[in-house]
Amino acid sequence: MAKRSSSGGGGSTIYGVLAGLLIGLMVAAAVAYYVVKAPSPFVDKASRQPESTARPDPRNAPDPNAALGVRDTTPIPPSAIGEAPINSSGDKSAESTNKKPSAGKDELGALIATLSPTSPTEPQARVEKPRTEPRKETAKDAAKESSAAGQQNAGSTYYLQAGSFKVLEDAEALRARLIMMGLQVEIQRAEVNGIQFNRVRVGPFSKIDDMNKVRARLGEEKIVTAVVRQ
């Protein structure tokens, strides 16, 4: 008798567990169906279109100048814009205005006709004359100056001073070096403030070109010279 009661209790326990699982599955299925089919508040908010706010009509806007005076709301007819007023005789004033520019054009044309066609070229001829005359004058002046300088330099004698020494032996050594170069050299003695100097001079030269050639030759030998005119 005890064995039958234990087997019957174990079978009822299994049935209870199975029944609980079935009930749980049914509840879960019902919840899932409700979640899928029922409208979600988050989805509705995202899918909703923003309400279009009606913009106010500018014609119905309040006039800020209403306190200063009465607003004239009468529309201006389009035919009145751009048309000239009509006189009592029926002619428009635009015709009279069109005649005035023609009179101005006639006066301008008469003024242009009175001008001579050769007048623009006359200032050019006047400007060209002074351009050539100063050139002739400068050439003449340069020729006069060069001739005067040539006359003054014709009777002049030039020397190239290669050095000035207190000791005569130093002057003689430089003189011997210059003579070895085939130049005409002389030593001139001069007293300055009570001190006697021996000046080594190359020359004389009667032509400046000859003097410049010798001076360039001495410069190649690193001998510094000074031009002395007598």
Q: Please state, in angstroms and rounded to a whole number, the distance separating the CA atoms of residues 206 and 155.
A: 8
- Lookup result for tokens 């290669």: 162
pLDDT by residue (tens digit) across 51-105? 666 676 777 777 676 666 555 555 555 555 554 454 544 444 444 455 554 555 5
Q: Please state, in angstroms and rounded to a whole number, the distance separating the CA atoms of residues 146 and 144.
A: 6
Per-domain residue ranges of the chain: 156-229
Strands 195-205 and 185-192 come out as: antiparallel
Structure tokens at 23: 């009930």
Homologous superfamily assigned to 156-229: Sporulation related repeat (3.30.70.1070)
pTM of the model: 0.33
Q: Give the 3-state secondary structure of residue 160.
A: strand
Q: Please state, in angstroms and rounded to a whole number, the distance separating the CA atoms of residues 169 and 10.
A: 152
pLDDT by residue (tens digit) across 186-222? 888 888 888 889 999 888 888 888 889 989 988 888 8
Cβ(161)–Cβ(226) under 8 Å? yes
Strand ordering across the sheet containing 185-192: 185-192, 195-205, 158-165, 226-229
Q: Please state, in angstroms and rounded to a whole number, the distance separating the CA atoms of residues 211 and 203.
A: 8
